[in-house]
Structure 1
């Protein structure tokens, strides 16, 4: 639907931003027929013959674990996605100023921390083949063309495959096509758009294109960090999952068997970030009550608690009392985690407000 007035065009930016956010975060099963049609369109748009085989996987773990043979041909991620994008940008900039294109891209495709975090978790955890040049030569042969291909071929999963974060830029061009009427300029992107709206990951090669399902679970906290308090934060149809607490990947048992988190288990944990997640899940109040931390200072603002493991490895929290009493007259105690290099409760409380201790001391009313 082409919008004729500037007011309509501006209003449509929000609609397309919401649409493509939903596309990136979708946990619905892939529309396989539509995605396969999109593959063929995308290959043709890039000047390539459509692949003889389109193979589905139930998640990126299976996709990354594939053994690609010489019969599958060379990887085409660059030709299918990156080079095609550059070509379309050149066509678009011949029609509209690059500042307009940048503004549309910023409005329709803002940074999506949750999708980026999910993609980074996938890339971090899938098996990496990282073939050597010799390994590539075994696939391509010892011809001059084979040697050149082996020297330039992408070798890691992140450079061979494309996920939702790699295709999110298509939202801006969908807007340019439908709202500003740039149909001819964006026509080569129709296949990729169809793929992006109906598939999770793709691994394109000359003769075989592998497609992976979208996750069937994607959870985050209010700050768009991967997070789920009682189960996996990211899960694919084949069962492959990531457990995370406020953006930190943690072992499954820490989320699903929280009763096993003890002082000894916390002390045994080597990873500093995971250890702090364990204390958060146990709750700082219980951790202090069980003797996990030592009282290091007390003043009118509260009590500072600290636990040292190594010289540069410590945990601290300041215990404060709510200024407003509860209905029964009692006052709630709160534990606020703070940097371990602070020395006084006043300094710690001031830090939670983004202030220096001296400035906080001059406040008349404190909460």
Structure 2
């Protein structure tokens, strides 16, 4: 029997999209402590869903504690269950529900419910926090080998492969949350049929009630959620003057709109960042974040600049520092158009291409090729 596909939303249904988007954004950013009794019940139901007996459930307070436990107790890749959980509790449900959506509507819902944006948060956590844990485990494995084994290429390959297998067996609720808003909207708003309501309940509980989950045949390790987790509107790790991610044991990540910062920058509010740091910072990505936080307005007032040309209240400036933010291959200097409002005295600066040679040419570029003489009112 063919499925009747939903091709268009009613106005009432469309109005609920931001409601479900924000609901799952809040869930993805939820922090600990977790309700361990509820999490334990969720784990038991999840194991039952894939036909497994309830395991011994071990809760740990911090990620490194989970890493140590995994390293010391589990070395059998065949006992890893992550893929089975993802197939049974997420992938099958997602495939079933999407089968009832017209292709255009499916694309629109994916975009509007921000499943891809939410996945950005997972990607950053994976590459930053989880990578740090992977490196920690690598050090632990290396410390257990004889010096000559560490230097042996084959031994190195073996312990890195072992490490990769252990860390691939991890259910990360933030990733599952990236799919939750679309699934929830299809089930709760569109009332699309699905085969197993209990599995949907377990899916929600895993995201809501659990931290990192390492599932094995007889033992399941569940880590506490971070005590702080902050992101901007585009699901990029972000906090100002505080960790974007922090666990109870003090493990922290500082980030500014998705750029991971060293602690000495991240612990300060961007208002406290100093323009001279831009001149010394060697990491291009971090340097771009500093520029974004400090703003060109401050840079052109606080750094040594060269005035190249002026026209009325506009001045074309150059600043000597390396930057490849907008124009690849442009090392230095950086060119700015400074605008000084005659009524308020406020200074505003914009980055302009390195090939402009006059203030009026820079003004034309900023204003979509409209010549300054054509402005009826200067702004």
Distance 1:155 1:344 in 2: 58
Pairing 1:296–2:308 present:
yes
Shift of 1:255: 3.5
Shift of 1:270: 0.9
Distance 2:275 2:112 in 1: 46
Shift of 1:194: 0.8
User: Corresponding residue for 1:277?
Assistant: 289
Pairing 1:322–2:341 present:
yes
1:35-58 C-alpha deviation (Å, 9 max, x unpaired): 221122122212333322333343
Distance 1:108 1:54, change over 3 A: farther
Distance 1:153 1:251 in 2: 26
Distance 2:90 2:347 in 1: 55
Distance 1:347 1:211 in 2: 60
Distance 1:195 1:62 in 2: 20
Distance 1:233 1:102, change over 3 A: same
Distance 1:255 1:318, change over 3 A: farther
Taking structure 1 as the reference length, what is the TM-score of the superposition? 0.73
Distance 1:233 1:339 in 2: 33
User: Corresponding residue for 1:142?
Assistant: none
Pairing 1:335–2:349 present:
yes
User: Corresponding residue for 1:207?
Assistant: 218
Q: Does the Cα contact within 8 Å between 1:17 and 1:171 map onto a contact in 2? A: yes
Distance 2:95 2:117 in 1: 28
Distance 2:278 2:234 in 1: 25
- 1:236-247 to 2 correspondences below 5 Å: 236-247=247-258
1:128-152 C-alpha deviation (Å, 9 max, x unpaired): 2699xxx9xxxxxxxxxxxxxx999
| Unmatched runs of 5 consecutive residues or more in structure 2 | 1-8, 143-159, 324-328
1:119-175 C-alpha deviation (Å, 9 max, x unpaired): 4144234232699xxx9xxxxxxxxxxxxxx99996374674423133431333334
Distance 1:279 1:87, change over 3 A: closer
Distance 1:53 1:72 in 2: 19
- 1:215-234 to 2 correspondences below 5 Å: 215-221=226-232, 225-234=236-245
Structure 1, 188-197 or 210-219: larger mean CA deviation: 210-219
Shift of 1:91: 4.3
Distance 1:266 1:207 in 2: 52
Report SS of the residue matched to 2:210. Answer: coil
Q: What is the CA RMSD across the aligned residues, in angstroms?
A: 4.0
| Unmatched runs of 5 consecutive residues or more in structure 1 | 136-149
Pairing 1:364–2:376 present:
yes
Indicate which of 302, 310, 313 corresponds to 2:331: 313
Pairing 1:267–2:290 present:
no
Indicate which of 19, 30, 43 corresponds to 2:47: 43
Number of aligned residues: 336
- 1:36-75 to 2 correspondences below 5 Å: 36-59=40-63, 62-63=65-66, 66-67=70-71, 69-70=74-75, 74-75=79-80
Pairing 1:197–2:215 present:
no
Report SS of the residue matched to 2:165. Answer: coil
Distance 2:97 2:87 in 1: 15
Q: Does the Cα contact within 8 Å between 1:248 and 1:274 map onto a contact in 2? A: yes
Q: Does the Cα contact within 8 Å between 1:72 and 1:205 map onto a contact in 2? A: no
- 1:14-163 to 2 correspondences below 5 Å: 14-59=18-63, 62-63=65-66, 66-67=70-71, 69-70=74-75, 74-82=79-87, 84-89=89-94, 91-92=96-97, 96-97=100-101, 99=103, 102=106, 106=110, 109-111=113-115, 113=117, 116-117=120-121, 119-125=123-129, 126-128=132-134, 155=165, 157=167, 160-163=170-173
Distance 1:87 1:279 in 2: 45
